[in-house]
């Protein structure tokens, strides 16, 4: 599969849900496919440090991370804003603004071509609106875990979202969050 880079920088918006408007989020060079045949395309989890302290905490098995899913030369991530529109956005791989890139983890492959991946992301974006983002319960790492599993059948490493898992039971009690089985934790 041959991918070609469109020349110049183009302003990009979060993934657009059909019929709903979005606000501008970031800019990157758009990747376009010149061959739409399906094959085995690698999927990567790109992990970023949220704080310089991660340099110390990482080796002890802790840290606060941001992550994005890279496929077909585009990285998809989830972020917060105040509107009930998509919080899913695209950036140039390993270049998410505001974060320091740590590492890229091979998650497996997908047989979806670039157009199918884009359509898949648009469908997934309906579940990830900017106003539903929550640092502990529904963050960028939860998004990546969901997307990686759906694209490759593989789970993301537990250490990427360890802080949210440690804090989840306590946050659920404080916020009265329902966990899908009718009970509150």
134 is catalytic: no
Strand (E) or helix (H) holding 172: helix 162-175
Cβ proximity of 34 and 138 under 8 Å: no
Strand (E) or helix (H) holding 115: helix 114-125
Q: Which of 140, 142, 144, 148 is catalytic?
A: 140
What one-character-per-residue DSSP string does 26-63 give? EEEPPEEES------EEEEEEEEESSTTHHHHGGGT--
140 is catalytic: yes
- What gap in Å lies between CA 85 and CA 81, rounded to an integer? 9
What is the maximal distance between C-alpha atoms in the chain?
52
Q: Which of 22, 26, 66, 142 is catalytic?
A: 66
Question: Which residues, at least 6 apart from 52, have a Cβ–Cβ distance to it below 8 Å?
Answer: 100
Residue in 37, 88, 52, 53 with CA at minimum distance from that of residue 67: 88
Active site residue ranges = 66, 140
């Amino acid at each position: 599969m041959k991918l070609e880079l469109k020349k110049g920088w183009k302003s990009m918006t979060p993934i657009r849900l059909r019929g709903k408007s979005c606000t501008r989020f970031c800019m990157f060079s758009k990747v376009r496919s010149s061959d739409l045949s399906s094959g085995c395309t690698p999927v990567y989890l790109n992990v970023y440090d949220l704080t310089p302290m991660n340099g110390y905490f990482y080796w002890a098995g802790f840290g606060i991370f941001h992550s994005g899913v890279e496929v077909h030369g585009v990285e998809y991530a989830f972020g917060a804003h105040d509107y009930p529109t998509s919080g899913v956005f695209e950036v140039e791989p390993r270049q998410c603004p505001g974060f320091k890139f740590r590492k890229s983890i091979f998650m497996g492959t997908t047989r979806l071509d670039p157009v199918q991946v884009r359509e898949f992301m648009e469908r997934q974006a309906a579940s990830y609106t900017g106003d539903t983002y929550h640092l502990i319960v529904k963050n960028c790492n939860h998004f990546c875990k969901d997307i990686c599993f759906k694209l490759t059948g593989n789970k993301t490493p537990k250490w990427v979202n360890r802080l949210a898992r440690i804090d989840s039971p306590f946050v659920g009690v404080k916020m009265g969050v329902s966990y899908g089985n009718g009970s509150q934790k």
